[in-house]
């Protein structure tokens, strides 16, 4: 009897924590700025440049990652930070508590001993333990000397440089952006570091072509609904996971009914259990309503890409799942320069050329096992 009472109390605590302990919404509306960018699809090339910039840092290194693993690449990354801290460079490293749970704590101690600072995002806190465990800071950003900035889908681990036995080659979109936009990366990092204490509205006129866009607490859902509601020609989506909120999915169906062309690129290989099964009801319905859905076959597709009517491209950390729309802290860069949009769309189309177009027949004769997994995934999809 006591056991059942404890279970009931835990369940009640869980739902109370999620519904009552609301996070304040911090609107951080950054202006468009100019900057030079480099676009990466391979982890090896990205980390060569990233590590080079760390080695050449002169004053300050600010980094937030969702995941830093416990392997040789992660050790090399941490050793670089420790070396810079020992040489008097200001180093601040922030990691998501859950995503980086298995990082070698000796590396953390060594970095602190060298003079660096380390914090964890969303470490469990009483009394909102469940909320702090479920909400994740999925952002991956770095800014070095206030000028060289990094943002995208890559974390720190050997699978991201093609050393996973099944998920190789790893396909991701990551950016290095240099220029005036660095001041926004610094401000965003400081907000993360200080627990997101500020809100502000941008009153500047359009003076650049790259915008930093942080999302949290459901703001991404609101923004994407506006994007899709105004679409007239074409929506392009690249994502490793496709099981959006019902509102977002219905907005895509409405766009199809208006004659908007929709193309979605997802991976063939899967890195998490049930994610493919969670996506099947959505993808099959999109196909039956006229959308084009592709599965990437040349490795594992982990990229995050959005374009609407060729007016802009967003690349960053977001996934097209309920967790990203409603729970996670995410961050993207929005590009509006026509030549940049054309270049990034061309790269996306190159990945579609390495993909198979899916047809409704793929989903017409699902096994009992797959159907069971779909039901299980449906019940868990809010937190996957």
Please list, residue by residue across 156-186, b when 16 or more beta carbons sit within 10 angstroms of its beta carbon and e when fewer do: bbebbbbbbeebeebbbbbbbbbbbbbbbbb
CB-based burial label for 18 (10 Å; 0-12, 13-18, 19+): middle
Torsion of CA 352, 157, 164, 343, to 10 degrees: 20
Per-residue confidence band for 26, with pLDDT thresholds at 50, 70 and 90: low
Cβ–Cβ under 8 Å, residues 179 and 31: no
The class that CATH gives domain 218-384 is: alpha beta
For 121-156, what is each residue's pLDDT tens digit? 998 877 667 677 788 999 999 999 999 999 999 999
Q: Return contacts of 104-112, CB within 8 angstroms, 24+ apart.
A: 104/70, 104/74, 104/75, 104/78, 107/74, 107/75, 107/78, 107/82, 110/78, 110/82, 111/78, 111/81, 111/82, 111/85
Per-residue confidence band for 290, with pLDDT thresholds at 50, 70 and 90: very high
Q: What is the pLDDT of residue 207?
A: 81
The class that CATH gives domain 35-166+175-192 is: alpha beta
Q: What is the pLDDT of residue 18?
A: 57
pTM of the model: 0.94
Pairwise pLDDT comparison (10 vs 21), residue with the higher score: 10
For 189-209, what is each residue's pLDDT tens digit? 999 999 876 666 676 767 899
Cβ–Cβ under 8 Å, residues 62 and 186: yes
Q: Which two tokens stand for residue 56?
A: 């050449």
Per-residue confidence band for 15, with pLDDT thresholds at 50, 70 and 90: low
Single out the residue of 209, 184, 196 nearest to residue 329, CA to CA. 196
Considering the chain, tell me which residue range(s) the CATH 3.30.870.10 domain(s) occupy: 35-166+175-192, 218-384
Q: Which are the contacts of 14, defined by CB distance < 8 A and separation ≥ 6?
A: 130
Rounded to whole angstroms, the Cα distance separating 193 from 213 reads 17
Say whether pLDDT at 23 is over 80. no
Q: What is the pLDDT of residue 129?
A: 72
Single out the residue of 238, 357, 236 nearest to residue 301, CA to CA. 238
The mean pLDDT of 256-274, rounded to a whole number, is: 97
**Phi and psi, residue 59, nearest 5°:** -140, -45
Per-residue confidence band for 372, with pLDDT thresholds at 50, 70 and 90: very high
Q: What is the pLDDT of residue 1?
A: 65
Number of helices (H), then strands (E), belonging to the chain: the values are 12, 19
For 70-118, what is each residue's pLDDT tens digit? 999 999 999 999 999 999 999 999 999 999 999 999 999 999 999 999 9
Mean pLDDT, the chain, whole residue set = 93
Beta strands in 97-157 (DSSP E): 117-121, 141-144, 148-152
Say whether pLDDT at 4 is over 70. no
């Amino acid at each position: 009897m006591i056991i059942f009472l404890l279970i009931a109390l835990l369940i009640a605590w869980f739902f109370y924590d999620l519904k009552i302990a609301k996070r304040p919404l911090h609107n951080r509306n950054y202006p468009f700025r100019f900057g030079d960018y480099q676009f990466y699809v391979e982890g090896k090339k990205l980390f060569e440049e990233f590590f080079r910039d760390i080695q050449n840092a002169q004053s300050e290194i600010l980094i937030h990652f969702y995941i830093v693993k416990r392997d040789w690449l992660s050790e090399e990354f941490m050793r670089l930070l420790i070396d810079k801290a020992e040489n008097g460079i200001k180093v601040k490293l922030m990691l998501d508590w859950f995503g980086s749970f298995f990082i070698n704590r000796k590396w953390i101690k060594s970095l602190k001993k060298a003079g660096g600072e380390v914090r964890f995002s969303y470490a469990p806190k009483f009394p909102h333990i469940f909320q702090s465990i479920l909400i994740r800071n999925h952002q991956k950003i770095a800014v070095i000397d206030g000028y060289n900035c990094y943002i995208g889908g890559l974390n720190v681990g050997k699978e991201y440089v093609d050393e996973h036995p099944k998920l190789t080659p790893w396909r991701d979109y990551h950016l290095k952006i240099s220029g005036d936009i660095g001041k926004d990366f610094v401000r965003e990092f400081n907000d993360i570091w200080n627990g997101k204490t500020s809100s502000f509205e941008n009153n500047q006129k359009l003076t650049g072509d790259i915008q930093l866009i942080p999302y949290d607490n459901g703001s991404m859902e609101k923004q994407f609904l506006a994007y899709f509601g105004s679409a007239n020609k074409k929506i392009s989506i690249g994502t490793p996971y496709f099981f959006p909120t019902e509102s977002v999915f219905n907005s895509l169906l409405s766009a199809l009914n208006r004659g908007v062309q929709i193309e979605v690129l997802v991976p063939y290989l899967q890195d998490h259990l049930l994610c493919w099964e969670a996506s099947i009801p959505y993808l099959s319905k999109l196909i039956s309503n006229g959308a084009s859905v592709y599965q990437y076959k040349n490795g594992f597709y982990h990229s995050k890409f959005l374009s609407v009517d060729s007016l802009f491209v967003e690349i960053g950390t977001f996934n097209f799942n309920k967790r990203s729309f409603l729970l996670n802290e995410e961050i993207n860069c929005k590009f509006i320069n026509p030549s940049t949009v054309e270049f990034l769309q061309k790269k996306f189309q190159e990945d579609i050329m390495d993909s198979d177009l899916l047809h409704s027949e793929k989903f017409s004769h699902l096994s009992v096992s797959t159907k069971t997994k779909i039901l299980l995934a449906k019940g868990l999809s809010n937190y996957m």
